[in-house]
Structures are given as structure tokens and as C-alpha cells.
Amino acid sequence: MVIEIPGLFDAAEVREMRDALERADWADGRATAGHRAARVKENEQLPLDHPLARQLADRVLDRLGKTPLFIAAALPAKVLQPRFSRYDGSGHYGNHVDNAIFPIPGTGEHLRSDVSGTLFLSDPDEYEGGELVIEDMFGTHTARLPAGSLIVYPGSSLHRVEPVTRGTRFVSFFWTQSFIASPERRRLMFELDGAIQSVAADHPEHSSVDTLTQVYHNLLRQWSAT
């Protein structure tokens, strides 16, 4: 399931974040890639221990926690600290699949990457190329979203970033461990949640709203335990 979430941050917020990122010291992005992924990765990343990385990551995490569409789509149990990257001068990231398990820095715990997320911090007219191409069970999806918009997709999908041939592409990216590991079940829960919201808006007093809500939470209770 691929879900686009427009306007996670508005233009003024993106400009503020970008101003800080453009002044930051960047590192070779291959340092954080797995053995195979490093062979097809050419970009720069903000080091995780950079003070700006932590500051902006906290800002992204706070906004995600206040975004109903993200919560409905990902059913987040844990979200790994968002990271930041830039692509220019033919920078790209070839076909790869994200690591299934990531260590959570400073905790000794780990996170299962059920859902991947990319937050666009450059508008499409600021660069050429750089499309995010996602291949999952429902086909191929290509995204070049407005700055401030987010796309979430299965962590199990094969995906890539096409070469950036003009300008600079700034993004934040992160992984979420969902309460429901199965992408098929997460999709059903997302569709059920949307149906409940529609029925509640059109017929707020109808008894089916309570019944559907009961079914939703009982499925969540059952599937989150597996």
C-alpha cells in the first residue's frame, strides 16, 4: 500500500528546515548502506549524531504523531529517528530493499521496518530526475511530490531514486514498525478505518458506527498480537 500525505509541513516550515540543511556539513551516504546497497548508492546524508539531525528528526516525529492519515496508514508502534539526505550531480540510489531490522541508537533495542517513509523537502521544479520509484505487489509507483509532502510504502518493496540531473533533491526518510506486520492486513485496517470515518460523517448516530468500530479494534487487538 502506497499512501501520499500532502502538506505534512507548510512552505514556511520547509523553507526554515531547508535553510538549516543547506548550511550543514554532509557525509557520504554510502556509510549507512548495507553491503549490496552501498554499491548502488550515491548521495550525501546528514550524520545521525549531527545536532541538526536530532533537532529536525524530533520535529518530524512530533508532526507524524499529530497526523491522522499517517497513523491510520502505518499503525505505528515505533518510528526510527528520521534521517536526511541530499542528491545532486547525478546522485542516485539504485534498486534496493531496506534492511528488515534496524538498531535503535542508544537503546540496545531493534525496530522491524514494516513501513518506509520519504518526506520531500524540495519542490519538483527545483530539480530534474530524482523520482522515487516503488515496486510492490500492486505495481510500480513513481513519486516527485511537492516539498512538505510525505509518501509511505511497504518496507519490503524494491525501490530506487533515479539520478538527479539538475538542482538538488533534499528529503527526510525513516522506517516504522507497525502494530500489524502484515501489509495485507494493514491495508484492510486502513480501508476499514476510512469506511468508518465516512459512515460516521454521513450518519453519526447510526448504530453501525459502533459495530464497525468494535470490529476495527478487535481486529487490531487480534492482529497486533501475531
Q: Which amino acid is at 147?
A: A
Beta bridge partners of 214: none
CA-to-CA distance for 114 and 59, rounded, in angstroms? Answer: 22
Query: Residues 166, 211: one domain?
Result: no
Query: Residues 162, 188: one domain?
Result: no
Binding residues: 96, 98, 159, 169
Binding residues for 2-oxoglutarate: 169
Q: Is the pLDDT of residue 36 over 70?
A: no
Query: Residues 62, 171: one domain?
Result: yes
CA angle (162, 152, 178) in 5-degree steps: 135
Query: Domain end: 146, 163, 178, which one?
Result: 178
What mean pLDDT comes out for the span 19-35? 83
Q: Is the pLDDT of residue 32 over 70?
A: no
Q: Is the pLDDT of residue 221 over 90?
A: yes
DSSP state of 81: P
Q: What is the pLDDT of residues 148-158, one digit of tens each?
A: 999 999 999 99
Binding residues for Fe cation: 96, 98, 159
Q: What is the pLDDT of residues 99-149, one digit of tens each?
A: 999 999 889 999 999 999 999 999 999 999 999 999 987 789 999 999 999
The number of folded domains in the chain is 2
Predicted pLDDT at 226: 63
The Cβ of residue 34 has, within 10 Å, a number of other Cβ atoms equal to: 12
Look up residue 73 and give its three cell numbers. 496508514
Query: Residues 101, 156: one domain?
Result: yes
Query: Residues 19, 37: one domain?
Result: yes
Burial tier of 50 (Cβ tally within 10 Å: 0-12, 13-18, 19+): middle
Query: Residues 18, 101: one domain?
Result: yes
Predicted pLDDT at 35: 61
Query: Residues 98, 148: one domain?
Result: yes
Predicted pLDDT at 37: 63
Query: Residues 102, 138: one domain?
Result: yes
Predicted pLDDT at 33: 62
Query: Residues 156, 202: one domain?
Result: no
Query: Residues 140, 206: one domain?
Result: no
Query: Residues 92, 136: one domain?
Result: yes
Q: What is the pLDDT of residues 176-220, one digit of tens each?
A: 999 999 999 999 999 999 999 999 999 999 999 999 999 999 999
Scanning the structure block, which residue is given the C-alpha cell 459495530?
A: 211
Range(s) of the domain holding residue 13: 3-178
CA-to-CA distance for 195 and 208, rounded, in angstroms? Answer: 11
Q: What CATH number corresponds to the domain at position 208?
A: 4.10.860
Q: What CATH number corresponds to the domain at position 135?
A: 2.60.120.620
Query: Residues 89, 154: one domain?
Result: yes
Beta bridge partners of 112: 101
Predicted pLDDT at 51: 94
Burial tier of 36 (Cβ tally within 10 Å: 0-12, 13-18, 19+): exposed
Predicted pLDDT at 41: 86
Q: How many CA atoms lie within 13 A of 124 on its CB side?
A: 8
CA-to-CA distance for 51 and 41, rounded, in angstroms? Answer: 24
